[in-house]
Every structure is written in C-alpha cells, then in structure tokens.
A and B are shown apart, each in its own frame.
Chain A
Amino acid sequence: MSYFAFLAEHGTTLLLGTVTTIKVLVCSIILYVIISMIFGLMRLSKNPIIQGTATVYIEFFRGTSLLVQLFWAYYVLPFFGISLEAFTAGVAALGLNFGAYGAEIVRGGILAVPKGQWEAAHALNFSPAKRIKRIIIPQIFPIILPPAANLTVELLKATALVALVTVVDLTFEAKQINSITWLSAQCFGTALLIYYFMARFALVPFLRWLEVLAAKKVGRGKA
C-alpha cells in the first residue's frame, strides 16, 4: 500500500483527531494561563496561608507525573462521586499541571520587574490599580513570554497523553489505525509530522509574534 493510498483512506480520520487535539490544546492553554496568574500572584502574597496554599499546590502538581494526575482525574475521581468526561478530565489535568509550572514563571516575571519601577510609580502618586495596569504588567509580558512559549510547546506535546484516557485525539486515532492496519510507520510517522508542523509552523510563530508585540509595547522591539 503506497503512502498516498494510506493518506487517502485514513487522512480524514487523522485530521479529525487533529481537530480534537487543537481543541484540547486551546482549552488547556486558557485554563493554564488563568491558573498560573492566580497562583503566581498567590505565591507572592505576604499572607502565609495564601502563600502556603500556592506553594503546596505548585509542589504537588510539579512533583507528581502528569500521566498519574490524568489517570487520577479520570479513573479515581469517580470513587469520590465525581465523574468527569474524558475531555474534561484531560483538560483539567493538563491545565492544573501546567498551571503549576506557569505560576513559577509568573512569579519570576513579577520579581524581575526592577524595584525602581514600583518606587517611581509610587513617587508619581499613581493609584495601586494604575501602577499595576500601566507600569508593571506591560513590563512583565516581555519577561514571561519566552519561557511561557516553551511551556506552551511542551503543553502541545503533553496533549498526546489525553489519548490514554480515551479522548479521541490525534494520538488516539493513530493508535487505532495502527491496530487495524498494522501500518505503524505510516500512521505514527504521519502523526509525528502533524505534531511537528503544528508546533513549528503554527504555534511557535504565533508565540514569537506575541513576544515581539509585547516587546514593542515597552519600546524594546525593533521598530
């Protein structure tokens, strides 16, 4: 069977799987960005309870394996009467796991804004809200976006794991086709290529564009 015949027969299935992968990716990016901002800020709180909660959360989700968390969300939570759909469980586990890594990036980004900026904003009698919104946040983005971009590419790769809790994504379809046809090189090779193209020619350029945009905002970009 030639490769083109293989694509003609199974291409649509793989593309449908790719659409699910993109859905999982977009949902978990939204979730992880929100979680990292919340816990990144909590980590900087002066209240020991809030800070402690954030530290425990971050250490817990970074300390256990993503696959374990995924299986826990899908197979163990029903024991406690919480039955999540595979898609929801997958997105929740991905979001919570990457949120823990993202929180550390956010924390680092906030700490990296020079102290003088806070003091200057204070000296100019800016209100706390204005200080954060106009002075601090625009400076945080250029710092946190490069590591966040790396993390997001890692997230795209990690979405493959949701196939193991029966989400019908690209990996799941590739495995399925493999078990029917045993054309392993074709189906896993195609899946690898699709992931590669998604990362290299869609996700990474988009994230680079965001980085340039953020750098321009604070006057650091090349015109």
Chain B
Amino acid sequence: MEMGFRWDFAYEILPQMLWATLNTIIAAGVGYAIALVVGLFFLLGQRTPFKIVNIINREIVEFVRSTPLLIQLFFVYFVLPQFGITLSAWLCGMITIGLHFGTYLSEVYRGALEGVPKTQWEACRALNFSTIYTYRRIVLPQAFPIAIPGMGNYLVGIFKDTPLLSTIGVAELFHAATAVGGYNYRYLEPYTMVGIIFLILSVPAAMWVRRLETKVNLAQGKIKQ
C-alpha cells in the first residue's frame, strides 16, 4: 500500500466530502433549532410554581446531562421500534440531539434570566407592570444578550457532536468518510479531510462567539481582564 498523503485521491473524493458536509451542517442546524425549543420547555418546567414539576424536571435534566449522547442515540434508535415507533435514523438523531442539548440550553436560559438584576423586577412591580409586560419589555431584552455567548457555544458544540450520528447511519460527513475509506481501504485522506473541514468551519465560528462574548461583556459593563 502506498504510504503518505495521496493528493490525487484526496482531490477525487473532495466533491463527495463537500456534499456530505452540507448534510452535517443541516443536521447541526436542525438539531440546534430543536434544542432551542426543548430548552424553553425545560426552562418552563423549572420555573413553574409547582414543586413536583420542578423536581421531576430537575431529575430529567440531570439524567440527560450525565449520560453519554452516544448511548442515548442507541437507546432512541433501537428501543423506539420495540414500542412500534419506527423513525428514520435522521429523525432519531435530531430528536436525541435536540433533547440532549436542550437540557444544556435550559441552563443557559436560566443563567441569563438570573443575570437580570432583581431590582429590575422590583422596579416593574413598583410601576405596576403586568408579568407578561415585564418579561416582554424589560427582562427578556436584558436576558437575551447574556444568553448569546452560551447559545453560540452550544451551536459549535452540536456541530462537533454531529459525527456521532454516523453510528446510527445518518449520512453526514463522518459517515461519508468512513464509507469512502472502507471502499478504497484508505482512511488517511478521508479522516484527515474531515478534520480539516471541521477546523475550517468551527474555528471561525468559535472565534465569532468569543468576539460576541466580549461585546456582550462590554455592553454589560463587565470588561474582561
């Protein structure tokens, strides 16, 4: 077998890899969108005045957060059919990623809401604003900037966890690389290219999130260092 990096082979598989990259981006985007919504539900469960709901919510979040995403994927993919629910690998992957990262995002939301000073609430109470008006016009506009860096971090996080979807057969970038590698019996180029594509996409994204974070901190009057 030829040693070293074969550029011609890398060039040959490039179009295939780029198409698969598109799938990875779609998977990350859809998973993120679901996670954003799921996070809201967990936040709601945490803030309802019913103690029982709070406790159950807390335990579910703890459980999902302290077990590996990989086994959760297997669980959803293999167990649901036992109960007569057969979903495609794509759907299973999206649901699992949405649920898993939804728990993380609910923590981001919570942190952001708690980041709004209590005095803001008291002032609204003093001005006789309704709760909904307080949320809509006073609290959420202040909480949102605080949540942005955390939300951005998890977007990058989801993007980097999409290769796990290949284990249940979602045809994203890593799956394509494994298939190409197996077909030609050369793993060097496909896996290296996957690494490079991930670097190209996630390093600028992470930098952008960090810039955003600095901006938010500046706007909040918390200048770092």
Which residues does A use to contact B, with CB under 8 Å? 59-60, 62-69, 71-72, 75-76, 79-80, 111, 153, 156-161, 163-164, 171, 174-175, 178, 184-185, 188-189, 191-192, 195-196, 199-200, 204
Q: Contacts A76-B192, A79-B3 known; A195 to B202 CB distance under 8 Å? A: no
Q: Contacts A76-B192, A200-B66 known; A195 to B198 CB distance under 8 Å? A: no
Q: What 0/1 pattern do residues 79 to 109 of B give for CB contact below 8 A with A?
A: 1001000000000000000000000000000
Query: Which residue of chain A lies nearest to B196 when distances are taken between CB atoms in the complex?
Result: A64
Residues in A neighbouring B74, C-beta threshold 8 A? 174-175, 178, 184, 188
Query: Which residue of chain B lies nearest to A184 when distances are taken between CB atoms in the complex?
Result: B78
Docked CA distance A112–B86 (Å): 51
Main SS class of interface, B: helix
Q: What 0/1 pattern do residues 148 to 191 of B give for CB contact below 8 A with A?
A: 00000000000011111001000000100010010000011001
B-side interface residues, number (CB < 8 Å)? 37
Assuming A64-B195, A71-B187, what are 18 further A-B pairs, CB within 8 angstroms? A59-B203, A71-B178, A75-B181, A79-B4, A157-B67, A157-B69, A160-B71, A164-B167, A184-B74, A184-B75, A184-B78, A184-B79, A185-B79, A188-B78, A188-B79, A189-B75, A191-B71, A200-B66
Residues in A neighbouring B202, C-beta threshold 8 A? 63-64
Question: Which chain B residues numbered 38 to 68 have a C-beta less than 8 Å away from chain A?
Answer: 62-63, 66-68
**Interface pairs (5), CB distance under 8 Å:** A63-B198, A65-B163, A65-B194, A175-B74, A188-B71
Docked CA distance A106–B72 (Å): 31
Residues in A neighbouring B187, C-beta threshold 8 A? 71, 75-76, 79
Docked CA distance A133–B161 (Å): 39
Main SS class of interface, A: helix
> Which of these, A71, A161, A171, contacts B191 with CB under 8 Å?
A71
Residues in A neighbouring B72, C-beta threshold 8 A? 192
Q: Is A171's CB under 8 angstroms from B71's CB?
A: yes
- In the complex, how many angstroms separate the beta carbon of B188 from the nearest chain A beta carbon? 4
- In the complex, how many angstroms separate the beta carbon of A193 from the nearest chain B beta carbon? 8
> Which of these, B3, B82, B161, B178, contacts A65 with CB under 8 Å?
B161
Q: Is A195's CB under 8 angstroms from B160's CB?
A: no
Residues in B neighbouring A76, C-beta threshold 8 A? 187-188, 191-192
Nearest 4 CB-CB pairs, A to B? A184-B78, A160-B68, A199-B66, A67-B163
Residues in B neighbouring A66, C-beta threshold 8 A? 160
Name which of B67, B78, B198 has the most chain A CB atoms within 10 A of its CB. Answer: B67
- In the complex, how many angstroms separate the beta carbon of B34 from the nearest chain A beta carbon? 20
Q: Is A111's CB under 8 angstroms from B70's CB?
A: no
Docked CA distance A171–B67 (Å): 11
Q: Is A111's CB under 8 angstroms from B63's CB?
A: no
Residues in A neighbouring B67, C-beta threshold 8 A? 157, 192, 195-196, 199
